[in-house]
Structures are given as C-alpha cells and as structure tokens.
Amino acid sequence: MHFSISQLLLLFPFGFLAGIVSSTVGMASLVSYPALLYVAGLPPVYANVTNSSSVIFNGIGSGLSSIPELKGHVKQLITTSIFIFFGSIMGSLLLLHFSSASFTKLVPFFILFAAFTMIWPKKKGATTEKHQVGKFGQVLYSVAIFLTGVYVGYFGAASGIIVNAILSKITNEKYAVYNAIRNVSSFFGNFVAMMIYAFQSHVYWILVLPLGSGLLIGSYIGPKIVRVVPERVIKWIVAILAFGLAIQLFIQAY
C-alpha cells in the first residue's frame, strides 16, 4: 500500500490525542485504531497489529512523565509487568493460531465489568496506607493480571481500563499512582505483541512513525493532567467511555 504525505501528517495529531487518552484513562485504541482504519485505509487485521506496534510509545512517554508516582512502587510495577509480559506472549500466539471471533463476544462484558469496578465504592474505613490483600488475594491478583496480559496480546481493546480496575481493588493508592503502574507495565505487553507481529504478520512501520511520535508526546502530557484533575472525575470519565465502547463492541459482535 502507498500512503500520501497528508495521510502520514494526519496520523500525528490522532496519535497525540490517543497518547493523552491512553495515559489518562487507558483507551488509546479508541482514537488510534479508527485513525488507521479511516485515515490510512488499512484492513482491520493490519490496523490492529500496526496500532499495537505504535502504542508502545505510550509506555515510554507516560513512564518518563510518571517518575514521581512510581517512586516507592517499583516492586508492584515489576510484578505487574512480569505477569503482563508473559501473559501477552500467550495471547499473541493464540491470536496467530486461532480466530478471535468467538472471543470478541465476551469482550464487551469484560469492559463493562471493569467500568463498574472502577466506580464501585471501596469499603468504609479504608485508609490511604498500602493495602494488604493477603496471600490468597495476591494469588488472585497475579492470575487476574496474567489473564489481562493474555487479553492484551490477543485482543487488547480497553485493556488499560481492566488493569486499572484490578489495581484499584488491591491498593488504596491514588489513581495517579496505579495509573502510572498500568501505563508502564502495559508497555511490556505491547512490546511483546509488536515483536511477534513484526515476524508473524505485517506491520506498516511507515505509519508507526507519525502515529507513535504523536503517542509519545501526548502520553507525556497525560500524567500531568491526572495530577490536577480530581480522581472521582477521571473514574467517571473512564466508566462512561468504557460503557460506550462496550455497547459499540456488543453491537459489532452480535
């Protein structure tokens, strides 16, 4: 396929917006995937793999911008990243060998559940201290994050919301903190997907450059927005966008 200069230039502002959206609420694909479909004119499969290869820049930009939030949370960041990394390997391999048609019917329900989890109030009496979930809770957390990693590699839509929903229930840290953990750990899942797709599918690297550049800059700005916007407002924005995406995916699947 050949792309005009105007198509390539248009992808940059879409990437910039996607970077802000992704690093604040975890839904880059809400912007970047349609851009590859309608601006670049890619078929859905190639738009998906090219998008996955572009969003790794979100982890870089948001990670650099989120250093203050990540201090004191390196252990949780490493643990989350490891499970997403290995889960994504499995998910990417599953995508290359099996059809995602049946799985897409379950995706809207995953996203709905994550949206409800984000806005569901915590138990009264919770403090701002580090939340101890116990050994059983840690096992459940590890399994949930690993399965989310599989989801990242296999499908990926709104995976950031699902990770944030899980983190919100195993910690009493502020949204800005676990959102930073999610941003950086998701980088590893997207990186795995990019490497596998690069050898097993066809990534349009010429489109990754402008889209990824926009994502890099936008994602650096996102964490700064999260610091000043009230947490409750962000969570409701996440929930509303997730509800809308779930309805759209439900209509497409059924």
- Average pLDDT in the 151-177 region? 81
116 pLDDT tier (thresholds 50, 70, 90): confident
pLDDT over 90 percentage in the chain: 35
Confidence band for 130, pLDDT divided at 50, 70 and 90: very low
Q: So what's the pLDDT on residue 86?
A: 93
Given a contact cutoff of 8 angstroms between Cβ atoms, the answer to whether 16 and 216 are in contact is no
User: In terms of pTM, does the model score above 0.85?
Assistant: no
Compute the C-alpha angle 124/129/130, nearest 5°.
110
Classify residue 113 as exposed, middle or buried by CB count within 10 Å of its CB (0-12, 13-18, 19+). Answer: middle
Averaged over 67-76, what is the pLDDT?
Answer: 91
pLDDT higher than threshold 90 for residue 181: yes
Q: Where are the domains of the chain?
A: 5-253
Q: Using the predicted structure, report yes or no on whether residue 67 has a pLDDT greater than 60.
A: yes
How many CB atoms are located within 10 Å of the residue 48 CB? 23
Kindly indicate the confidence band of residue 99, based on its pLDDT and cuts at 50, 70 and 90. low
* pLDDT confidence of residue 48: 79
The whole-angstrom separation of Cα 44 and Cα 37 is 7
Across 104-131, average pLDDT: 66
Q: Is a pLDDT exceeding 90 seen at residue 78?
A: yes
CB 227 within 8 A of CB 67: no
pLDDT bin (cut points 50, 70, 90) of residue 12 is very high
With beta carbons less than 8 A apart as the criterion, state whether 159 and 29 touch: no
Q: Which of 74-78, 86-90, 99-103, 193-197 is least confident?
A: 99-103
Which of the listed ranges 15-29, 60-74, 109-123, 226-240 does the model predict with the highest average pLDDT? 60-74
